[in-house]
Every structure is written in C-alpha cells, then in structure tokens.
Amino acid sequence: MEYSGNPNNHSPHVAILAGAGIGHLTPILRLAASLLKRNCLVTLITGHPCVSDAESKLISAFLSAFPQARKEQFHIVPVDPPVEGCDPFWLQWEATRRSLQVLPSLLHSLSPPLSALVTDVTLLTPVLEFTATLKNLPKYILFVSCARMFSLLASYHTFFSTTHHLPDDDYFSKAELLETPFPGVGPFLKSSIPAALQEATNLFVSIFKEDGKRVSSFDGVFINTFDRLEPELVGNGAKLFDGRVMPPLITVRLSPCDFERGAGASKLGWLDDQAPGSVVYVSFGSRIAIKKERIREIGEGLVRCGYPFLWVVKDKIVDKEDTALLEDVIGDELMEKVKSKGLVVKEWVDQGEILGHKAVGGFVNHSGWNSVTEAAWCGMRVLAWPADADQGLNAEAVEKSGLGIWAKDWGCLAGPNSDKMVTGEEIGTKIQEMMGNDLLRLQAQQIRDEARNAFGDGGTCENALKELIEKWKINQ
C-alpha cells in the first residue's frame, strides 16, 4: 500500500503516538506543542486506559490549551495473565506494543493524509511492523533520554555473539567498560548501564536488542539535547560495522508549557522570601518510589546542610496509590525539624517555575532526562543521585558537561539495587559541596547561555527543526 502524503498545499500533518508514564508523555506533548506553534497540524494518538491520573489530566490539559490539535484513541488490551510485582508502567508499555495492530487503519482514516509519524521510543518496533505497508510515510522516533543512552540502544545488540543468544550470567562481569561501535563515543561504564539490561533473563533485554536493530529504519530521531550538554552526539550518518547507517538526530528543546501547570499551589511566595541562590530544590521525579528509611535520611541531610530547601516527597510509583499523609511518610519528629528549615510538600509543583526562580541555587534530583535538561536551560547546578533505567548515563552527562556532580558512591537512589545505606550526614555534606562550588555555578550558567543560543532564533537546533518542517511541506 502506497502512502501518498498530504496532497493539498496545507501545513504538514503530523501524527504523534504517545507512550506510557509522565516521563514519556510530557516530552511527547511538548513536541506536539512545539509543532503546533510552528503551524503544523497535529493528531495525538494515545492508548486507553492510562496508568496514572496524572497522565489523563495532562492529556486533557494539553487538548484544552491547543483545541486545534486532534486526538485519536485506541484501547490497550491488558497483559494476560497479569505479572505480579512488575512495574505497572513496564506492563503498560508491553500491553501497548501488543495493541498496535489498529494503527494502519487508524492512520489511513486521518484527513488530510499524513506528512510524518512520530512515535515514542518504547513503541518503535511494533510501529515499524504495523506500518510496513505505508511505504512513503516518513517515520520518526522521539527519544526521551540522553544521546549517550541512544547510542547504547543502537549498539546494545552488538555486545552479543552473532548467534544473538542472551549472555551468560557473568557476561557483564567480564569488563568494567563496554566499547561502543560508534566512532568518537567513549565506552560505557558497566555500573551506568540499566540493571535490567544486565540480567540475562529479563524480558527487557530481548526488547531492547530488537528495538536497537530497528533504529536505522527510521527517518530521524528527535532528542532533547544540544552540543554543550552532550558533545558525543551520535547519529547523523554514523555507520556501524554491520553496515547500518544511523538516522539524523534532530535536537529539539522540549521546554515546559503552560498547560503543565497543575492544581497545586504556587511556591513562589515562599521562594520570594529567601535570599538569591540560597535554596536547595529536591525532587526525584514522577515515578520514583523511595523507601521511608531513605526519605527520612534525606530529610536529616537537608536539615543538616544549612541551606533553606524546597523538598517534594513521593513514596509510591503510581499517583493513585500515593495516599499517605506527609507526616506519616516523614515522621512527626523529623517533620518538625524540616518545617523550621524549609518547605516540604507531597503534591505536584511547577518545576520550571521553581528552577527559574532567583532564590534557587541547586537541584538535587534522580537524573531523569527531563529534569536534567530543565536544569540546563535554567543554568541550575545539579547533585545527581540516579535510581535506575537511563539515569546512570544521564548522570554521566551531568558530570562530564560540568552541570553538576554525581554521588557515585551512594549507589542507586531507589529500586532493587538501593540497599546501600547513605546517612543524613553524608547527604548534608554532599549538598554543601554542591552549593559551595562557585565553579559549578558558573559552568551551569555557561551551559544555560549556550542552550539559549542553540535553541534561539537563528540557532543551530532551531534552524534544523525549521528545515525539517519545510521538507515535510515540500514532500506533501
């Protein structure tokens, strides 16, 4: 089946297929907003039902803010039988991958015909399989992590034998460094590779291998990064030893949008009363479940560090289950100490608003890529404490770029490999190290300036996106 593209002289029509989880949905919606602001026609395709209330609310807020956007929805068939104890977002990704057989007919029903399709990275293999008959439809990936993680995805299967068997149990123990076939890209620290990819029997291993082999079949990869943050950008025609040529990386700024502002109260009033650059902002993302013991040591560290702080607490992966009172999570005694030193909340906050406030001088986070890039845009130095997934590689980027420091000896913040005890005293000392480092502050500000040059009018990243949209128009 041939796909003729948009036959009319209209703006390009782009379909965007969303994945599961706020960490994936947020950049998808930011990309959609960016294209809409550049006069593209956008159809957002989402699966139903969502895992979390936050996802449903964010989609509704986006559609209210951009009534010109179109929405298509398909039903996600649950994984059967259900897998007990599995991360609910991983289950949703797998269920979505299995439910995409409706995609060809859905795409063909859209009018005007599409100029391009953008998919969340977690869905790339089934998207290729189910749209194979749409031969002239340009297809793109939105990659929601760092460029170094992209290079791991694209090369991961090359770490295995030509028989493509899973590794022996001790495969990853044979070397601390794994060489990548990308020219100019340094080797991977074994400790930075996601834990799931080091387990021979993990389902994610086979999925990741297969997805990596398919990357070269796409026309391009949208990624939220820039040269100063990640000099080791890969793609753009890089050729691997197996003959595959990587698609171009299209660097885009996926900045926070007004529609993301939730119902939580603004913290600007409290921040306005603090001295410039004095506040430590602490947030570990939307889906990191931290043990109570760890939360309480973090609280002790914040009390000890000597700086005022704004701390966002979360102890459940899914927001629907996050019903405990703040005092129950932190404990009454620590709560009294914390309230005398800073502000602690257990609700949504406007992270972009906080990071852009003059009172905030440092950001303690889990190295989620959305948080890293928001910190870079605001020129905010970072103390990185990754949990798992791509966050170790993101923390490498934080450290190498000079945006912040990485507490390597603390181990993982949360998850199955988070057994190492990190005391409040250690945490307080490391925060003092970050906040007292003027060189780090200056480097973060330089990164901010270079980000704004790259994404501003006439910048390299902005020009690349404009050229792509013009290409879509020409090829209609």
Q: Mapping DSSP to helix (H, G, I), strand (E, B) and coil, where does residue 16 land?
A: strand
Burial 333-352 (b: 16+ CB within 10 A, else e): ebbebbeebbbbbbebbbbb
Exactly one of 13, 87, 120, 350 is catalytic; name it: 120
Contact of 194 with 389, CB cutoff 8 Å: yes
Q: How far apart (Å, rounded) are the C-alpha atoms in residues 433 and 179?
A: 32
Q: Specify the amino acid at residue 87.
A: D
Contact of 353 with 310, CB cutoff 8 Å: no
The count of other CB atoms within 10 Å of the CB of residue 463 is 12
C-alpha triplet 162, 155, 26: angle, nearest 5°: 140
322 is catalytic: no
**Residue 182 backbone zone (phi > 0: left; psi -120 to 50: alpha; other: beta):** beta
Contact of 347 with 314, CB cutoff 8 Å: no
Element (H, E) at 275: none
φ/ψ (deg, to 5) at 413: -65, -40
164 is catalytic: no
Structure tokens at 71: 């929405």
Exactly one of 24, 87, 319, 388 is catalytic; name it: 24
Give the active site residues: 24, 120
